[in-house]
């Protein structure tokens, strides 16, 4: 039973992080390799806000969230906007470079030691008892809740609205989208801010649950596998992908070898690439009439 709880928590973490990849890819065909670092930045922003507003959790949270959204918009406006129209490879490399830059900056500003924003905010993280004798920490339960909330709102916004179609259209043929009245810059900025927001929420919750240091980028990188397994431009796919990868990882750690935890997501990824490269629910992109 504890296994099931662990799977759900890990799946929620992966899902929250994966939807950030999906949002940006859907709209601009760019793989944001700096997502892990941006999520980590969000967590550090929360820590900074928490130290300034010690014991005033609500203003600290609000400020941290606002700062994350503006970071996302700034990253687009200052950096990625100049990359529209260039080769996708160049855009991906730019995000990789951005990730490296952020990693260095975070250590310079906040030092490499582990931080505990939970203490600064004045919260505690008691362990709750769930059915079947399993236990879950409060923060982990919050993560699951947030994942459900985020996905619910995103689905409402995208799937059942024209804007989901327009975001995909902008990703497929930016010039035509512009010629059909879609404001590309606005849509890209929107995607980047949403992506950074969801990533930062994930980062903040993880930091509250288990402390904060640079190892968070590893989780960000591993979360890339669920995004791809589900289909890079499908939110529903990200959800399913998160469940699949989380189950494989938790089961592998439990029954086979704890060291496998970093490799299992990539093994699942390779398997999916062999069988069905465009993922469970992604759009097949090899359609081009020469």
Partner 1 sequence: MSSRPRASGYFRTDYAADYALLGTRSARIWVALFSLALLLFPLVASPFQLDLACQVFLASVGALSLMLLMGYAGQISLGHAGLIAAGAFTVGILFRETNAPFWLTLPASALVGALLGVIFGLPSLRLRGLYLAVSTLALHFVVIYIGGEYETRRGFSTGIMIDPPQLGSLSVTDGRAWYFILLVAAASTLLVCLNLLRTRSGRAWRAIRTHETVAETLGIGIAAYKLLAFVISSSITAVAGALFAYYRGFVSVEAFSLFLTIQYVAMVIVGGMGSLLGALLGAAFVTIFPYVIESALLALPGAQGFASMLFAVNYAAFGLVMILFLLLEPLGLVGIWRRIQSYFLLWPYRHRPAAGAHQ
Partner 2 sequence: MTLLDVQKLEVVYHRSITAVQGISFAIRAAQIVALLGTNGAGKTTTLRAISGFLGLDDARVSEGAIVFKGEHTENELPHRNTARGIVLVPERDKVFPNLTVSENLIAPIPHGVTAAEQRRRETLVYQFFPQLRDLRQRIGGLLSGGERQMLAVASAIMCAPELLLVDELSLGLAPVVVSELLQRLSEIRRELGLTILIVEQSAPVALEIADYGYVMENGHIVLDGTAERLRAHPDIQEFYLGRESGERRSYREIKQYRRRRRWYG
Residue ranges in contact with partner 1 by CB under 8 A: 29, 31, 79, 82-83, 86, 88-90, 92-94, 96-105, 107-108, 112, 221, 224-225, 228, 259-260, 262-263, 266-267, 269-270, 273-274, 277, 290
Q: Is 182 in the site for partner 2 (CB under 8 A)?
A: yes
Stretch touching partner 2 by CB under 8 A, among 37-45, 113-121, 146-154, 158-166: 158-166
* 247: nearest Cα among 5, 1, 2, 7: 7
Pairs from 130-133 (Cβ < 8 Å, separation ≥ 24): 130/5, 131/1, 132/1, 132/2, 132/4, 133/1, 133/2
Q: Which is nearer to partner 1, 11 or 31 (CB)?
A: 31
Q: Minimum distance between the CB of residue 54 and partner 1, rounded to whole angstroms?
A: 26
Supply the angle between the helices 162-172 and 184-210 in degrees, to the nearest 10: 100
Q: Minimum distance between the CB of residue 37 and partner 1, rounded to whole angstroms?
A: 10
Answer with the entry of partner 2, partner 1, none that 254 interacts with (C-beta below 5 to 8 A by kind): none
Answer for the pair 212, 42: CB distance below 8 angstroms, yes or no. no
Q: Minimum distance between the CB of residue 148 and partner 1, rounded to whole angstroms?
A: 28
* 26: nearest Cα among 171, 194, 165: 171
- CA 248 to chain centroid, in Å, comes to 19
* Phi, psi of 69, deg, nearest 5: -60, -45
Q: Minimum distance between the CB of residue 4 and partner 1, rounded to whole angstroms?
A: 26
Among 78, 85, 131, 258, binds partner 2 (CB under 8 A): 85
Q: Which is nearer to partner 2, 169 or 260 (CB)?
A: 169
From CA 91, how far away is CA 88, in angstroms rounded?
5
Burial class (CB in 10 A: 0-12, 13-18, 19+), 212: buried
Q: Minimum distance between the CB of residue 81 and partner 2, rounded to whole angstroms?
A: 9
Answer with the entry of partner 1, partner 2, none that 177 interacts with (C-beta below 5 to 8 A by kind): partner 2
* 238: nearest Cα among 279, 207, 177: 279
Answer for the pair 98, 82: CB distance below 8 angstroms, yes or no. no
Q: Which is nearer to partner 2, 190 or 245 (CB)?
A: 190
Answer with the entry of partner 2, partner 1, none that 289 interacts with (C-beta below 5 to 8 A by kind): partner 2
Strand ranges in the chain using DSSP code E only, listed in sequence order: 127-129, 135-137
Stretch touching partner 2 by CB under 8 A, among 69-77, 181-189, 252-260, 261-269: 181-189
Which residues bind to partner 2, rule: CB under 8 A?
A: 84-85, 162, 165-166, 168-169, 172-184, 283-285, 287-289
């Amino acid at each position: 039973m504890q296994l099931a709880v662990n799977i759900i928590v890990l799946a929620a973490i992966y899902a929250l992080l994966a939807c950030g990849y999906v949002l940006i890819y859907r709209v601009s065909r760019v793989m944001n390799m700096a997502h892990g670092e941006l999520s980590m930045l969000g967590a550090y922003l929360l820590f900074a806000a928490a130290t300034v507003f010690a014991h005033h959790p609500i203003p600290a949270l609000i400020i941290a969230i606002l700062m994350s959204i503006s970071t996302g918009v700034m990253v687009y406006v200052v950096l990625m906007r100049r990359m529209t129209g260039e080769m996708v490879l160049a855009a991906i490399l730019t995000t990789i470079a951005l990730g490296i830059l952020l990693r260095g900056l975070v250590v310079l500003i906040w030092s490499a030691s582990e931080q505990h924003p939970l203490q600064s905010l004045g919260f505690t993280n008691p362990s709750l008892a769930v059915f079947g004798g399993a236990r879950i920490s409060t923060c982990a339960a919050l993560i699951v809740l947030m994942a459900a909330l985020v996905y619910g709102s995103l689905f409402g916004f995208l799937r059942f609205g024209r804007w989901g179609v327009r975001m995909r259209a902008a990703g497929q043929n930016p010039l035509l989208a512009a010629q059909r009245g879609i404001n590309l810059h606005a849509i890209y900025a929107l995607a980047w801010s949403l992506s950074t927001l969801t990533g930062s929420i994930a980062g903040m919750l993880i930091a509250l649950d288990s402390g904060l240091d640079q190892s968070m980028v590893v989780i960000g990188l591993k979360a890339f596998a669920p995004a791809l397994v589900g289909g890079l431009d499908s939110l529903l796919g990200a959800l399913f992908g998160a469940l699949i990868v989380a189950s494989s990882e938790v089961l592998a750690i439990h029954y086979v070898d704890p060291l496998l935890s970093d490799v299992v997501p990539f093994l699942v990824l390779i398997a999916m690439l062999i069988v069905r490269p465009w993922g469970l629910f992604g759009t097949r992109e090899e359609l081009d009439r020469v």
